[in-house]
Amino acid sequence: MAVSLTLESTAYTLDQLTTRPEAQIALAGRSNVGKSSLINALAGRKKLAKVSSTPGKTRSVNFYLVEPLNFYLVDLPGYGYARASHGEREKWAKLLERYLVECASLKALALLLDCRLTPQQLDLNLASFAQRNRLLLVPVLTKADKCNQRERSARQKEWQDILGICPVLTSSSSRLGIDALWRALAQAAGVEAPIIKAP
The whole-model pTM stands at: 0.92
pLDDT at 85: 67
Q: What is the mean pLDDT of residues 109-136?
A: 96
Three-class DSSP labels, 110-125 = EEEEECCCCCCHHHHH
Domain-located, residue 104: yes
State percent of the chain over pLDDT 70.
90
Give the mean model confidence (pLDDT) for residues 25-51: 91
Q: State phi, psi for 63 to the nearest 5 degrees.
A: -100, 120
In a domain, 196, yes or no: no
Provide the CATH number for the domain around residue 146: 3.40.50.300
Domain extent, residue 92, equals: 4-188
pLDDT at 57: 53
Q: Is residue 197 assigned to a domain?
A: no
| 194/12: higher pLDDT | 12
How many domains does the chain contain in total? Answer: 1
Q: Is the pLDDT of residue 63 over 80?
A: yes
pLDDT of residue 78: 86
Q: Is residue 195 part of a domain?
A: no
The per-residue pLDDT of the chain, averaged, comes to 90
What is the pLDDT at residue 58? 54
Please state, in angstroms and rounded to a whole number, the distance separating the CA atoms of residues 42 and 171. 10
CB count within 10 Å of CB 131 equals 15
When mean pLDDT is compared across 18-27, 130-139, 167-176, 188-197, the lowest value belongs to 188-197
In a domain, 54, yes or no: yes
Cis amide linkage into residue 68, ω under 30° from 0 = yes
Beta partners for 169?
141
Closest CA to 69 of 136, 138, 8, 3: 3
Bigger pLDDT: 18 vs 147: 147
- Is 178 a member of any domain? yes
Work out the average pLDDT over 57-66. Answer: 82
Q: Is residue 199 part of a domain?
A: no
The amino acid at 86: H
Question: Residue 194 falls within a domain, yes or no?
Answer: no
